[in-house]
Structure 1
Amino acid sequence: MTIAAAIQSRTAEAPARSKASRIAEVEIVSDLTMAEPVWRALEETSQLFTPYQRFDLLAPWQRLVGEHEGATPFIVIARDSERRPLVVLPLCTRKNHGVFVACFMGGKHTTFNMGLWDADFAGHAETADLDALLAALRAHGSVDVLALSQQPMRWRDQQNPFALLPRQNSINGCPLLTMPPAGPPASRISNSFRRRLKSKEKKLQALTGYRYHLATTDDDITRLLDWFFRVKPVRMAEQRLPNVFAEPGVEAFIRSACLARCGDGRVIDIHALECDEEPIAIFAGVADGGRISIMFNTYTMSEHARYSPGLVLMRNVIDHYAEAGYDALDLGIGSDDYKRLFCKSDEEIFDSFVPLTSHGKLAAMTMSSLNHGKRLVKQNQMLFDLARKLRRAFG
């Protein structure tokens, strides 16, 4: 498809009734190349966005994974009267049971979903601004419902403007560790837990070439990913979990984002424990200068696994970022036991299902009810255990 054909030329003006809104124009773009300049302009550290919405993370996801899933880019760009960008929403659309649904790009691989906002605009955003944005999307007429899941209520101490929309709690929580600036090591990991990990690490330290490091070269990154894509499927099979990394395009997407440069690091950073014999464990995540969000991990299948290398590595990762001035770390969606060893609180995240057409009203109600039901199951241990047994029996 040519760029001329890919770009949707329809531009919807915000309605005159929203006089309080700074939004004067809303453009819908379906070509990543056309959206890239304004998207990157809002990736400055002074603006409001999560590292999951970086262009170099979501563009390869769309090209390598989204297309396989039937997702079409639906990038919303809102500007003020002087055509300065106020927000970019990196969305994609799918047709589901005859209804066109727009959701955030990234699918299963983004813990948090959010727009890229001009920080000043976001700090003063009101309902009138969202009304203007939604009115423009309704006028465009190509989407029936917005399904905006796993949005953080706040990011870096600033409220997410979409928290003003009707919302409900997301199905799963996200374990969070807050790290007091310049706090002592015990403020993030207790001394007793550190002693336990130190005792385990002594066994690993006896291995030739034992080391912790952040992968910085293309060769190291590629070597560690080669190992990850051999070991992770085995680990997931052991747990009788579906291997999301085997889905079409996912491995190529992960490799692209891990190799893409971002400042002094990479779009996805890989931390590893290794010895000369083999990699022992890795944790990989996205960082933004104040927070690290873990995306994926695994550990060795060898006898070295009995010394809890994943826990030892996580201690190293936490200390690495705390010493670099970071004040938060999250371990991604889910309630795995190891996460609670480090994270004692949860990030508040929410979903919004917003109908844009008459067809979308029933779809939004259905999606909201389904997610609410799933959350009830997750919150009830008996129901959750039953659901897990059924999944294992019929999965």
Structure 2
Amino acid sequence: MTMAAAIESRTADASARSNSSRISAVDIFDDFGQSETLWRSLEDQQHLSTPYQRFDFLRPWQQAVGVREGLQPLVVVAYDHDRVPLLLLPLAIRQIWGARIAQFMGGKHATFNMGLWNREFAEVASRADLEVVFAAIREQSGADVAAFQQQPLAWHGLPNPMALLPHQTSTNDCPVMTFAPDAPASGRVSHSLRRRLKAKENKLKALPGYRYFVATADRDIQRLLDAFFRIKPQRMAEQKLPNVFAEPGVEDFVRAACMTPLTGGGRAIEMHALESDSEVIAIFAGVADGQRFSMMFNTYTVSASSRFSPGLILIRHIVDHYAERGYRSLDLGVGSDSYKKLFCKANDPIFDCFVPLSARGAAVAAVLSAANRTKRLVKRSPALLRLAQRMRHVSR
């Protein structure tokens, strides 16, 4: 069933209540096919969004993962009086504790969650505009809560309008590095770190066929994916961590997104690697939008070559690759792993919003908010984190 019916009259009532909303109509779609043309039109440089909200990233995620998790697509589009799209929210409905939760698509595989905003509208959007959108979500979908997690406070220098809502700091930070235009290589990675990595890489260069490359051909992408799904479970087992890539549908999603070509070149997920003639040594993959590269997943060999820090060497290659192509920043995904701090000297602020849309939703929003605050507290307490890790290992 489709919900793609405009709600001009209801939205007009909401606008009248808030007096200053620029939004005159909202459409809600529960089908990717109906929203594709509009969605793609909001992905150019005149709009503000992260590459995690691309149609070519989220469609394979929903088809492979979302469907298996019982999620129902909820694509929300807001327009001005001339029917110019101002905002698209790529959401899905999840059932939790008998409540309908509206959340961003992408789940744990999207580092950042954000709407696709008309850039001019994003600069002036108000709380009243957001209230109109949430009223439409409540009326048309029956959602009880909007749980919008891991949102960047700003993207490419523009504030995220969702920060106008009551919000809290996300569980994890995201280490980020920025590139100054025309800065020397040492301005990206220090001389001392480059020197150490060069010495290690010289050992790898002795291997026949050693090279760094970005996979562009289908056969290379497939080969790297085969290696990744062979090596990653071994690495996760060594660390006594659950293998999220073994969850239903995840491998299908990753393979589909890595193979999906983008209109402007590249793939929905780009893959970088170090390899020799005999093995894939290290793999890093992520999303890019011409200004920022964002890491998604990685692994490295279990062979003797691992002692030469191939993961760090590969990151250094990736940093130089994007900086030399005019990118302004790079992140290594959320989390406080020590290797990230070798390259990223700052953290991107990330926040969560839990907006109740019904009486039932108020209680659920309070529980979700408290749970995330607790997770952040545990992450920042070494003693609590060690206790949580021991409990997790005991329960396995």
Give the TM-score taking structure 1 as reference length. Answer: 0.97
2:171 match: secondary structure:
coil
Contact 1:113 1:151 in 2 (8 A): yes
Alpha-carbon distance in structure 1 between the residues aligned to 2:81 and 2:17: 15
Describe the superposition over 1:12-58 as per-residue Cα deviations: whole angstroms up to 9, x where unpaired.
Answer: 42422233211011111100101111111100122100000000000
Alpha-carbon distance in structure 1 between the residues aligned to 2:265 and 2:228: 23
Question: Are positions 1:264 and 2:265 aligned together?
Answer: yes
Question: Are positions 1:318 and 2:319 aligned together?
Answer: yes
The aligned residue for residue 295 of structure 1 is: 296
The aligned residue for residue 121 of structure 1 is: 121
The aligned residue for residue 248 of structure 1 is: 248
Instruction: Note the C-alpha offset of 1:335.
Output: 1.5
The aligned residue for residue 133 of structure 2 is: 133
The aligned residue for residue 101 of structure 1 is: 101
Alpha-carbon distance in structure 2 between the residues aligned to 1:168 and 1:258: 33
Alpha-carbon distance in structure 2 between the residues aligned to 1:127 and 1:197: 49
Alpha-carbon distance in structure 2 between the residues aligned to 1:393 and 1:376: 21
Question: Are positions 1:349 and 2:347 aligned together?
Answer: no
Contact 1:47 1:117 in 2 (8 A): yes
Question: Are positions 1:202 and 2:202 aligned together?
Answer: yes
Question: Are positions 1:40 and 2:40 aligned together?
Answer: yes
Alpha-carbon distance in structure 1 between the residues aligned to 2:137 and 2:271: 39
The aligned residue for residue 17 of structure 1 is: 17
Question: Are positions 1:163 and 2:163 aligned together?
Answer: yes
- The number of aligned residues is 391
Alpha-carbon distance in structure 1 between the residues aligned to 2:17 and 2:2: 31
Contact 1:10 1:140 in 2 (8 A): no
Contact 2:6 2:25 in 1 (8 A): no
The aligned residue for residue 394 of structure 2 is: 393
Instruction: Note the C-alpha offset of 1:180.
Output: 1.3
Alpha-carbon distance in structure 2 between the residues aligned to 1:353 and 1:87: 19
Alignment of 1:180-259 (within 5 A): 180-259=180-259
The aligned residue for residue 361 of structure 2 is: 360
Alpha-carbon distance in structure 1 between the residues aligned to 2:206 and 2:230: 25
- Mark the runs of 5 or more structure 1 residues left unpaired by the alignment: none
Alpha-carbon distance in structure 2 between the residues aligned to 1:20 and 1:9: 24
Decide which moves more: 272-281 or 17-26.
17-26
The aligned residue for residue 61 of structure 2 is: 61
Identity %: 55
What RMSD, in angstroms, separates the aligned Cα atoms of the two structures? Answer: 1.1
Contact 1:100 1:142 in 2 (8 A): yes
Alpha-carbon distance in structure 1 between the residues aligned to 2:50 and 2:332: 15
The aligned residue for residue 278 of structure 2 is: 277
Alpha-carbon distance in structure 2 between the residues aligned to 1:138 and 1:257: 31
Alpha-carbon distance in structure 1 between the residues aligned to 2:106 and 2:225: 20
Give the TM-score taking structure 2 as reference length. Answer: 0.97
Instruction: Note the C-alpha offset of 1:122.
Output: 0.5
Letter in 2 for 1:100: R
Alpha-carbon distance in structure 1 between the residues aligned to 2:335 and 2:390: 17
Instruction: Note the C-alpha offset of 1:286.
Output: 0.2
Contact 1:7 1:34 in 2 (8 A): no
The aligned residue for residue 111 of structure 2 is: 111
Instruction: Note the C-alpha offset of 1:344.
Output: 1.4
Alpha-carbon distance in structure 2 between the residues aligned to 1:272 and 1:376: 36
